[in-house]
Amino acid sequence: MDETKIFKTNIPKLDDYLDGGLREFSVTLLWAYPGIDNSPFAYQAMVERLDKGDRCIYVNQSKMSNAILNEIEHYGWDIKPCIENNNFIFLDAYSGLINADSKSEYAVKNPRNPTEITNELDKLIKLDSSKNTLVVYDSVSTLIDHCGSESVYEIEKWKTIFRENKAFGIFLFTKWPYEDKILDELRNVSDAVVELKAIEEKVILREFFVVSKVGWNGKVRKGATAPFKITAPGGVMIYIPKILVTGPFNAGKTSIIHSLSDAAVSVERVGTTIALDHGHLEYRGFSVDLFGTPGQERFDPILEMLGGEALGVIAVVDSTNPDSFPRVKEMLSKTKSAGLPSIIAANKNDLPNALSVEEIRDGLGLGTTTPVLPTTAIDLSKVEDNKPTELKTEQLHALLDALFSKIV
């Protein structure tokens, strides 16, 4: 009888703790606690397998395919040749959640029906059974949220498909306050569980992973933990905190992110001019990723997914539009940001009819513990419609100082 195949992840220490690496026909669960991003672990293992000539199917259910490709490139990996030779394939189970037409060749029409996901995954794996296939599922949390707790049992069907087709899986999961029954079933159905945790006081000081289950060797070492870092380029090496920038349409989120960032991009969504902005900055010892949310109500399903891992929130309001204040409060609620350190950026505070900081505070019903700080253009004469406006640096630094003082 042939020995079970072992597939390395190329993540330091993790392969050691997994007794050599991932196993064929298995499911390894990346069990992240809120505030920790597990996707770079999946990306790095995926790139390693692609480099070794294996095949990868990425089932995306928490973000658009282009956003994932941008993130992979952000970490310094180029998988375009693998896309061109069909070694890397997206199965889009996300577009249907937001009632958008998929741009991927393979898609699940109704991703709220787990049986449809199973059927499409089965067909896609069988397209080429000559190669070992890694299935990355992003994410089990979204599956539970949209398909119900019973959808966890669908994973057993996927494992059967794996056993029949030389496949194995890495599944991403964020531990929100689900019922113990769901969490227990997830552990039971997973062959290995890698928990991504953090030591924290008011802010995360150090992140580490814990291999809490290894089903294929029958034991778990005591102290099977390691601090991890994530760098771009580089991969799993350092932690980068996530700050959410949210607010209504046309409040100025893109201007905030582009003005704050050392590098920023706006990712077009579903063929519209709506953008999810992403930026990175390093300031006074903080290395931060900024994630902007779309403002229109039809994109609200995205808000919970984006807000779930944030460590702090910048809520951007239009100082000239008090009618938008109820929407600000609604968005803060939908991003699951209650209790997170947050500040208000009172944008366009240099325009005629702009409300004062105190008027904005009163309009939002905020206490004195939430800072409300103005942001204004460097030069109003250079403001253009549908383009980011460059904002005054000292005001942006005041925003960061206020937010970081709340986090730390």
State pLDDT tens for residues 115-127: 999 999 999 999 8
d(CA 344, CA 256): 12
- 218 and 274: one domain? no
Is the residue at 232 inside a domain? no
In order of 122, 165, 169, the CA distances from 160 in angstroms are: 10, 9, 12
CATH number at residue 382: 3.40.50.300
Give the other-Cβ count within 10 Å of 228's Cβ: 22
pLDDT at 336: 58
Is the residue at 10 inside a domain? yes
d(CA 109, CA 102): 9
Check residue 377 and report its DSSP letter: B
Is the residue at 158 inside a domain? yes
pLDDT at 2: 52
Spatial contact of 361 and 372, defined as CB atoms under 8 Å apart: yes
What distance lies between CA 238 and its chain's CA centroid? 16
pLDDT at 32: 93
- 29 and 145: one domain? yes
- The structure's pTM equals 0.57
Is the residue at 235 inside a domain? no
What distance lies between CA 77 and its chain's CA centroid? 18
- 174 and 279: one domain? no
Amino acid identity, position 366:
L
pLDDT at 55: 96
What distance lies between CA 267 and its chain's CA centroid? 14
Burial class (CB in 10 A: 0-12, 13-18, 19+), 250: middle
Q: Which domain holds residue 342?
A: 242-407
pLDDT at 252: 85
Is the residue at 80 inside a domain? yes
In order of 159, 245, 248, 251, 401, the CA distances from 306 in angstroms are: 29, 10, 15, 18, 23
d(CA 226, CA 9): 15
- 286 and 188: one domain? no
pLDDT at 272: 41
Q: Is 347 helix (H, G, I), strand (E, B) or coil?
A: strand
Regions in the chain scoring below 70 on pLDDT: 1-2, 199-206, 217-232, 234, 236-241, 263-275, 284-287, 298-309, 334-339, 386, 407-408
- 50 and 192: one domain? yes
- 293 and 387: one domain? yes
Length of the chain: 408
pLDDT at 206: 60
User: Which tokens belong to 14?
Assistant: 């993790």
Spatial contact of 371 and 312, defined as CB atoms under 8 Å apart: no
pLDDT at 237: 39
Q: Listing from the earlier edge strand, what are the strands of the sheet with 372-375?
A: 263-268, 275-283, 286-292, 242-246, 312-318, 342-347, 372-375
Looking at 192, 227, 262, the residue that finishes a domain is 227
